[in-house]
Amino acid sequence: MEQGIEVHKKAHALYPTGILVEGNETTAHNKTNQLLKDPHTTVLFEPVFHIHEGIAKADILKREKTGWRIYEIKSSLNEKNEFLDDLAYTTMVALQSGLPVSGCSLLLLSGDYRPGLPVTSLFIEIDHTEEALGKAKGFWKEYDRVLQTVQSTSQPVPELKWECRECSFYGNCIGKGLKNSIFTLPRLSHTKFCQLKDLNIRSIGDIPKDFPLTPTQEMVRKALQERTAFIHKDPLGNRLEGMTYPLYFLDFETVSTALPLYPDTAPYVRIPFQYSLHVCSKTGEILAHHEYLADPKRDCRKELAEHLIRHSDSQGSIICYGDFERGVISDLGKRVPGLKDKLDTVLNRLVDLCAILKDSYYHPDFQSSYSLKDVLPVVVPELSYEDMEIGNGGDAMAVFASMAMGKFDRKQEKEFREHLLSYCKLDTLAMVRLWDWLKGMVEEV
């Protein structure tokens, strides 16, 4: 949110004569109307428009020869459908309030921007006049129906749709009280969703035994229906036995900001700033632990890569949880070409423990998720993130970015560095314990 606010401030700097419309809803609306009547007004920031029960605030409004151009600012490098929807809604309200709209544009971030370049280099303007006006017209045709629905005292009858899988309100709507929704079925395709919907099936536990599923999906279905853990012992055992000791358990933390933190970096470049590496000589025996945490005031990617190469030695399987680490190391090889060959050697040793688990084991208490934070309470309950000052990757990223921006004093920064180290260390320790647990389970079954 802070980054979004900063991006808006940068966009305002594109128009030094622009006027910021401030105040509450009513005050800002009245002020907008007054400024629009003034022939000297050329640019407005955050003007407010009203129609009936509808309200909209344009990010930027610029006067043109035949009317006004509406700008929607997005702190993103790429277009999304919802961006055009936002622009079209603002356009609809502005048009219906009587504003002559001559143009509609998105302002997105440029991947070519680097710190020190003029603010004009930070943004790319994309004209969407025709599309926005067309969508605005369509929105207006639906306006009365939508308004009636929103103001109704009763909720409309919900309908299960493919779009529900990404809706944040799903759990309070048609998915309320539903356990193990079909949307949590691994790699659920749209075709398979439609087939299940036609059968009026919403929960994985209700899927018929003769319904065609992939081996992984079938493993999840069977575990949930029989309320017991399901294991493919032989494939799991073979993959675990295929590892080369010593084993290295690796986890990165990265930071990615809309406005670059360091010279010669672009918006949203993924910068690794920390790693933890547990080394095990055999199952259940930790040989060493290595860690690295960058100086937030400078770009330490080369230094981090050098430490990683040294700490990971030249042999032994390097175990990660997911494919995130592979992408980070690949990016490092491009950033530090002199170390690419050695980093490629590291890449060739990577093993995805999450992929192994997905193909071989499922427990009903995973709640249809293979996230380490969902798996850990089931298999290694003695380890927990609950009491951690920093307990997830998002918090780690936000804290490091704040450190890089100089938001903490020396004492606070020292404390946060300790919290970051503790969090990342727990991630790799969790993988060690998960590995030990899997090995023990294979031997027992």
Give tens-digit pLDDT for 279-333: 998 877 999 999 999 999 999 999 999 999 999 998 999 999 999 999 999 999 9
Percent helix, strand, coil in the chain, to 5, is 45, 20, 35
Q: So what's the pLDDT on residue 32?
A: 97
Q: What is the mean pLDDT of residues 373-396?
A: 91
156: DSSP letter: P
Mean pLDDT, rounded, of the chain: 93
Q: What is the mean pLDDT of residues 48-66?
A: 94
Residue 190: φ, ψ to 5°: -65, -40
Q: What is the mean pLDDT of residues 194-216?
A: 93
Q: Got the DSSP string for 221-257?
A: HHHHHHTS-EE-HHHHHHHHHT--SSEEEEEEEEE--
Question: What band does 445 get if pLDDT is binned at 50, 70 and 90?
Answer: low
Domain boundaries, the chain: 2-151, 181-228, 236-444
More confident: 158 or 332:
332
Per the CB < 8 A criterion, the answer to whether 305 and 332 are in contact is yes
CATH code for the part of the protein at 236-444: 3.30.420
More confident: 432 or 177:
432
Q: In what order do the strands lie in the sheet with 43-45?
A: 19-20, 43-45, 60-64, 67-73, 101-109, 123-127
Domain 2-151, CATH class in plain words: alpha beta
**For the whole prediction, is pTM greater than 0.75?**
yes
Q: What percent of the chain shows pLDDT beyond 90?
A: 77
Q: What is the mean pLDDT of residues 419-434?
A: 96
Q: Which two tokens stand for residue 271?
A: 């910068």
